[in-house]
Each structure stands twice: as structure tokens, then as C-alpha cells.
Amino acid sequence: MAFGIDDAVANASALFTAAISRIWPDPLDRAKAEAVSIQATADAALSQMRQSMSVMLAEAQSTDQWTSRARPTMMYVMYVMILASIPMGVLWAFEPAAAERVATGMQRWLAAIPDSLWSLFGFCFVGYTGARTYEKAKGVAR
């Protein structure tokens, strides 16, 4: 569940349990009401899990090639960056000055990208994410 939702459900459940003990003083009636409360909480969690899974399955089964490749492509970029650390580590072991120059060069290259381009990238990424969410919610992209 999303951050904060668990706390809200737990607090509502505690409040409901306190109300049950006041409304139904009989232990048998109270136990029945608590069982209904537990079942409702479990059903809500299961429903949320089903909804999350349906979104993931819809993306995986999409015929839109960009939808099925966008996230993996970003992961491949991250994998390359992580795997590049292996030869950099070896280079550092044999030639620390060269490895330092390569790392400094990468830092300077990334720092040379203007802030406006980083902002544009962020804006486009958020816009794409929002548009895809809207399309999925409205059922436009099928």
C-alpha cells in the first residue's frame, strides 16, 4: 500500500474496534462485528493489490512498443552505468590517476548540461507519465 494509507487504515480499524466494544457489549456480538471489520480490511487490501496488478498486466500486454520498452530501456541505461563501475574499479587499481580523470570528466560533462535541459527532461518525463496515466484511466490507449 502507499505510504500513509496503512496508517489511515490502522487508525480507522482501531477507531472501529473501539466503537464496536461500546456498541456491542456482548462478547459474541462484538466478535462477529470484529470479524466483519477484519474481513472488510482484508477485502480493501486485496482490491488495491488487484488494481495495482491490473495496471502492470495492462502495460505488459500493451501492443504499443514504447509502453513495453520505455521502462526497460531506462533500466538498461542504469545497468550500463552500474556495470561500467567494474572496469573503472579495475582501472583504479592499476591507474588511480586515470580513473580519477575519467570520473572527473564524467562529472564535468554532466555538469555542463544546462539546467534548462535538465528541467525540460523532467518536465517531459512528468508530462509523459501524466499523459499515460490519463490514457489508462480513460481507456483511450488500447
For 46, counting Cβ atoms within 10 Å of its Cβ (0-12 exposed, 13-18 middle, 19+ buried), the class is exposed
Which pLDDT belongs to residue 1?
42
Angle (CA) 102 106 107, round 5°: 115
Scanning 61-114, the segments in alpha helix (DSSP H) are: 65-94, 96-112
25-46: per-residue pLDDT in tens? 677 777 777 778 788 877 887 8
CB 24 within 8 A of CB 33: yes
The Cα 59–Cα 63 span in angstroms is 9
Which pLDDT belongs to residue 5?
64
For the whole model, what pTM was predicted? Answer: 0.36
Q: Give, for all 142 residues of the chain, the pLDDT tens digit.
A: 445 566 676 777 777 777 776 776 677 777 777 778 788 877 887 887 888 777 767 766 777 766 666 666 767 777 888 888 888 888 888 999 998 998 898 889 888 888 888 888 888 878 877 877 888 888 776 5
Contacts 24+ apart (CB under 8 A), 55-63: 55/136, 58/136, 62/141
